[in-house]
Amino acid sequence: MLGSLIGIFLTSAGIVIGADSVLWDSTAAPPPRGDKTCQTGSRSVATLQGWYGERLFLYKRFHEICRELARSSKPLSLEAQADRLTKKLEQTYRKHTGTLPPNQARLPPPASEHVAYVAVAGYEGEIPLVTVREIRWKTDSKGIWRLTTERVNHLGAQGCGARFLGEDAVANVLLEKSVHFQKEKGRPEVLAANLANQLYKEDDCIASPFSIEEAKALYKIVVRLTIDYGEEFEIENGALGGRLHLLTISPGRSIEHEFVDPEQYVADRPES
């Protein structure tokens, strides 16, 4: 199980990143807790969702690369940061798993095609932006499995919007037309996120009313609903949870951090 749920929200006043703290690997029981985000610059944050590796080797390497980026005397664009992170993480994955470079051997089908999402969010000038890469397995034209890194355009956004990485089945149902979660769909934060996503499609983000506080509330609602109803959407019990980390990137201000203990977002559960 890969687990975890990361939310990235581009609002009218700043960027909000939400991450749970359960770290699934192949050996630890119960799974440890840790921070799935890191600061790569004064106005940028990276996240890692997916398989964190035996003894969390991929997770540890992610934080090492982030520190390198944060200390760099020559800041990189958000796109370049995402490329640097995924290139080095793919190299680390190959080294630790014994995966051979492309074209050297025929490999068996992987247990999961998805390895990890890497997202970088921040400001390019005055524009809020999130860009996403996926390290994954895919078959080539000859049916041979290859490890590759791809840009995930539908998970990226510029200007406004709400995006989820990981166990996002419940989040997607909440933010789409369906018979599920009818009362929650009428909450202001859910309506504001839906409008932001629509305005992003229409290239009219200046009209988005989605706020920082609504983004934080939305993330807590989605985590709570996923914990309560995830098994109905084929999400394993325990796939996410623990202490939540909320980061806010606002123009002209230092990145703000907020931590939410389980009893706080459990208490915030919407009435059903």
Residue ranges of E strands in the chain: 5-10, 15-19, 37-41, 44-50, 114-124, 127-139, 145-151, 157-158, 161-166, 244-249, 256-260
Residue 126 domain-assigned (yes or no): yes
Residue 77 domain-assigned (yes or no): yes
Residue 94 domain-assigned (yes or no): yes
- What is the arithmetic mean of pLDDT over 119-131? 94
- What is the arithmetic mean of pLDDT over 168-180? 91
Q: How does residue 106 score in pLDDT terms, banded at 50, 70 and 90?
A: low
pLDDT digits (tens, 9 = 90+) for 8-37: 999 999 999 999 998 865 555 556 789 999
Pair 7, 162: CB distance under 8 Å = yes
Query: CA-CA distances (angstroms) from residue 245 to 136, 230, 252, 265?
Result: 26, 20, 21, 12
In which region does residue 62 sit, left (phi positive, over 0), alpha (psi from -120 to 50) or beta (all else)? alpha
Select from 5, 7, 84, 10 the least CA-distant residue to 40: 84
Task: Give the other-Cβ count within 10 Å of 214's Cβ.
Answer: 23
- Least confident segment among 33-42, 68-77, 97-106, 142-151: 97-106
| Average per-residue pLDDT for the chain | 89
pLDDT tops 50 at residue 52: yes
Per the listing, tokens 């944060």 go with 70
Residue 229 domain-assigned (yes or no): yes
Q: What pLDDT does 109 receive?
A: 66
Cross-sheet strand order for the sheet of 161-166: 161-166, 5-10, 15-19, 244-249, 256-260
Counting the structural domains of the chain, the total is: 1
Residue 105 domain-assigned (yes or no): yes
Q: What pLDDT does 203 receive?
A: 95
Six-digit token string for 40? 């790569």
Query: CA-CA distances (angstroms) from residue 101 to 65, 105, 187, 249?
Result: 22, 8, 49, 38
* CATH number of the domain that residue 161 is part of: 3.60.20.10
pLDDT tops 80 at residue 182: yes
Contacts of residue 74, defined as CB under 8 A and 6 or more positions apart, other chains included, come to none
Q: How does residue 272 score in pLDDT terms, banded at 50, 70 and 90?
A: very low
Which structural domain range is residue 51 located in? 5-265
In single-letter form, the type of residue at position 31 comes to P
pLDDT digits (tens, 9 = 90+) for 197-234: 999 999 999 999 999 999 999 999 999 999 999 999 99
Contacts of residue 144, defined as CB under 8 A and 6 or more positions apart, other chains included, come to 106, 107
Residue 271 domain-assigned (yes or no): no
Residue 259 domain-assigned (yes or no): yes
Q: What pLDDT does 271 receive?
A: 47
Q: How many residues does the chain have?
A: 272
Q: How does residue 53 score in pLDDT terms, banded at 50, 70 and 90?
A: confident
**Helix or strand (DSSP H, E) at 194:** helix 188-201
DSSP 251: T
Q: What pLDDT does 187 receive?
A: 95
- Least confident segment among 76-85, 99-108, 183-192: 99-108
- What is the arithmetic mean of pLDDT over 235-257? 92
- Least confident segment among 30-44, 59-73, 191-205: 30-44
- What is the pTM (predicted TM-score) of this model? 0.91
Residue 177 domain-assigned (yes or no): yes
pLDDT tops 80 at residue 103: no
